[in-house]
Amino acid sequence: MTTASEVRRSAVARLREAGIDSAEHDAAELLAHVLGTTRGGLALVEALTAPQQASYERLVGRRVAREPLQHLTGTAGFRHVELGVGPGVFTPRPETELLAGWAVERAREVTGRPPVVVDLCTGSGAIALSLATEVPGATVHAVELDHAAVEWAARNLAGSGVHLVEGDMADALPELDGRVDVVVCNPPYIPLEAWESVAPEARDHDPALALWSGDDGLVAMRVLEQTAARLLRPEGWVGAEHADVQGAAAPAVFAGSGRWSDVRDHRDLAGRARYLTARLAR
């Protein structure tokens, strides 16, 4: 009989050899998934049955081939919610939790009426679901162009009260023009030429429409700037994630149009430029 800790140690070694930085974490997550427990619960497991060991080895093999961990477990945690994810939808990233938190704070500042919030490029629905969960009473709309992603979002947002729209953010939600308090967006932002530098988990498993955005990675940001200006009330807020190398170029899309005040960029805990925010001028 093989003990759980032996099996796990050998999985960590295989994952490390495959170049996976989070080998310890991923080995534990996959084992917890196979055993129907949590990572904390693994301390109580001494041995695996043969079928459990076989399932685990298969999943570790798929992770070694750089399938995203979240595709193997079928879920991704994001702030206080769990999203179903898999082929056809962008896997929500921890770094986007910062932008979502900023949007939650801005929505909570609205007084005297329910805040109206729009999550453009919603993907799995991660930001929209966080807003609906953390700002009770908010009216939340979510927009997504890719039909496969819309199907994931529809499942994740079922029962949340979020109004999900399939379509291009460029002309979405015309009925809300000038009425929105907060527009939030994690658009595609990787320059086409950066293909080589993108991790295989993203390059081979996130949908192309979720990643690439023209030669400079800012094509979708320019569309967002126009759409946010159309949707927002005067003094309404927009927040958008961007690549760490776009800490000057992405805010410049907003500053350069002359329509915005308070344009600023925000860094993550590691000091990387992460998202911009701006306020529609009166």
Ligand X SMILES: C[S@@+](CC[C@H](N)C(=O)[O-])C[C@H]1O[C@@H](n2cnc3c(N)ncnc32)[C@H](O)[C@@H]1O
Site for ligand X, rule CB under 6 A: 90, 92, 96, 121-124, 126-127, 143-146, 149, 168-170, 186-188, 207, 209-210, 220
- Say how far apart CA 224 and CA 234 lie, in whole Å: 16
Least distance from ligand X to the Cβ atom of residue 84, Å: 13
50-68: burial string, b at 16+ Cβ within 10 Å, e else: eebbebbeebbeebbebbb
- Say how far apart CA 261 and CA 80 lie, in whole Å: 31
- Say how far apart CA 32 and CA 28 lie, in whole Å: 6
Least distance from ligand X to the Cβ atom of residue 281, Å: 24
218 or 220: whose CB is closer to ligand X? 220
42 or 202: whose CB is closer to ligand X? 202
- Say how far apart CA 158 and CA 189 lie, in whole Å: 28
Tokens of 167: 């379509």
Q: In Å, how far are 147, 196, 257 from 168, measured between CA atoms?
A: 11, 28, 21
Least distance from ligand X to the Cβ atom of residue 129, Å: 10
Least distance from ligand X to the Cβ atom of residue 92, Å: 4
Conformational region of residue 90, where left means phi above 0, alpha means psi within -120 to 50, and beta covers everything else? beta
- Say how far apart CA 278 and CA 266 lie, in whole Å: 11
Least distance from ligand X to the Cβ atom of residue 45, Å: 32
Least distance from ligand X to the Cβ atom of residue 161, Å: 18
Least distance from ligand X to the Cβ atom of residue 232, Å: 17
Tokens of 224: 């967002």
11 or 129: whose CB is closer to ligand X? 129
139 or 213: whose CB is closer to ligand X? 213
174 or 258: whose CB is closer to ligand X? 174
- Say how far apart CA 192 and CA 78 lie, in whole Å: 27
Closest by CA position to 209, among listed 100, 127, 135, 122: 122
Closest by CA position to 121, among listed 166, 81, 174: 166
Q: Which residue has the tokens 């979020």?
A: 162
Q: What phi and psi, each to the nearest 5 degrees, are found at residue 250?
A: -70, -50
4 or 164: whose CB is closer to ligand X? 164
Give the CB-nearest residue to ligand X.
Answer: 123
14 or 222: whose CB is closer to ligand X? 222
